Chain A
Amino acid sequence: MIRSIESSSLPWLSSWGFHTPRFVCVEGGEQLPDVTTDIGEAPWVVKPDTARGGKGQAGLVRICSDRSELAAAVAELRAAEEVGSPARLIVQQYVEGTECYASVAFDETVRAPVVRLASAGGVGFDALRDAASAPVDPMLGLLESDVNHLLAASGIGRGAPHSAATRRMLHHLWRAFSASEATLIEINPFRVDGETLTAVGVALEFDDNADEYTHDLRPLEVVGEERFRLGEVTERERAVFDINRSMSSTPAVSFIELPGEIALLVSGGGGALLCLDQVADLGSSAACYIDSSPGAGPEKLHQMLLSGLGVPHLRGVLFGAVVVSLDDVTRMTEAFIKAVRESGIDTRTIPVVARIAGPNEEEAHRLLREHLPAVRLLGRESTLEDACALVVDLVHRSDMGASA
């Protein structure tokens, strides 16, 4: 999922016809700018310039009535873990008014875009429960009848001073959503002052897989997994991220480092999740989670496995997959053998269990026996749970051996 950071979201909304507050960015440890000149008199709002939503609920938004309060709030937020390093903050003009809510997003249950509107909004507002909603047929687009329904059901009907502005805003919302192939545009809240709606809080998400021509219609600065931008990743996660980015024409591979002791190098999303649970149920813990699709290519597979084998304090390895249907299992096996050699893991001292089944499994078994003879090899007669039990048992035995 691609998201937009707030300092890019606001100008983007403005370009689609929304009214937005003035703001200024404060980066790293730089001096506070002359906020009054840039965005006007206090009060001001200061918050992290990240793509993450729920900043108000997380206590990361401060309202400041003078420059000394602003300086204190900036210092406090720069030190907050969630802001990342170097810290990027946004100082925004405070807008008076009541609050309301609008969004458009793909809905998993309806399986179509759904527009939501409410006459309330702000921190803690539950849009799924409290907003009026209208599913939109993507072949027809947002119809006047949808807009009329939303206005009536939300209570922002005829007679409300901002009724006409809300009607226009809903059409801007749909136009921006469909043209940029967004998956979410959420404005929470709008501040309502007479006939004017000002978008003061915004969350934007875009489809990673959308056609390239839509990229020019997106905000200037978008991020994939924001934890990479905020420096919340290990060097091994960064290495997988980098190879995915440099070889973007083939399917990406996943690698998540976890604080456990057994590297779960199990491909197939469902099978890998099953193993996470089983290892935990057996009193151990996973050191990583991986996933890959057929077609990822040998370089990405190699880096993913190398990252898994490089997790510090590793005490066991489970390599394998669900019974593969659509790929040759020797590809993954060759990448594993290469990664084990490069990582320097000694399979005689760190227990390694492999469960390999699928097209060409005999050849995969032969390769493992020839190149990594200490690996405990299981076939399709054993389940992934058997493999989990074996590797946990071997790790526990090695504990007992060490203590004896």
Chain B
Amino acid sequence: MRPVAVIAAGKTRFGAFPDRDLRSLAVEAGEKCLKNGHVSPSQVEAFYLGNFAGPSFTGQNHLAPYISTALGILDVPATRFEAACASSGSAFFHAFSAVASGLHDFVMVAGVEKMTSRPTARVTEILAGAGDCAGEIKAGSTFPSLFAMIARRHMYQFGTTREQLAAVAVKNHANGALNPDAHMRKVITMEQALNARPVAEPLGVYDCSLISDGAAAVILAPADRARDFTSKPVRILGVAQASDFVALDQKPDITMFPAVRRAAQKAYEMAGVGPRDIQFAEVHDCFTIAEIVALEDLGFIEKGCGGPYETSGATARTGEKPINASGGLKAKGHPVGATGVAQICDLFAQIRCEAGEMQLKRNALGLAQNLGGSGATCVVSILGNV
């Protein structure tokens, strides 16, 4: 395998954009990305698209060439990857593999989702398609309810509290308020988070990520060609994808995600670093409990101690391990197919000191964790200074 770098990134704002369609969002992100890296569409040798449910949300299928041709990227392989909320993380992993192996030199990885065109009940139904439709979903489970059941079990086994869950929401909203591209730039209080309307007990509205529209794109290149395009390429030091059962009731222990642990272990090995070396991370906080479990599965803190770690301040911007300085899925927004690549864009900006008000001081080595469904797919990426 040869070393691979990210040489360009671009994304749209995340939010509810009634006047925008799926393709225009993806094209905006792709064009920003091409411009950012001074790359022409004719130089792109393959197009990898992450998208979860475009056909259900918008009726449009065959999305990868639908978008790549609109970007002027013609003739090349253009393929859509679907892995629930880890769709574009998975596209990123496979794009990395193609460049690392020498199959391609310059590839674009994009992610997009257009979700706000449907009423919330229908969105809930479409998202439920990432679960086991013959079992848990038929019984009335929704995605919030699957994570609510994880939260209940985590609380039962480890004494995790509602306040510790709420602390994740309060922190990520505070971070999101500094992000000009975030869906919700709104600081919330602990009281607001605790007293929010229930969605699936013990989770309330503020424990859940947002239903958003948005897109993100990056361009990968062999590290030895990266400086032809930018003076600040960012190395992909490690990246791994792992899988597990789709149905929650098939997992022996729902307080952890084996796919996260396996992907993290492989990514750490590839990068030659450990959890202590990671200076900051963007983790998949689709629900507040998911961030707490991620901290444990990534090895940032021992199993069961994620809740107290959150309330200690360690994960704040000013803490020892800033988590979701972008606002995370919670406040930045969660256009599901865009999320994995958007996390890479956030790491890219931090490492290049281009994160504006969100900029962290310790920014040389970052980790992104992108989770699909209730843990059936996970992609962990470690990026750093070249």
B and A form one assembly: no
Interface residues of A (CB under 8 A from B): none
Interface residues of B (CB under 8 A from A): none
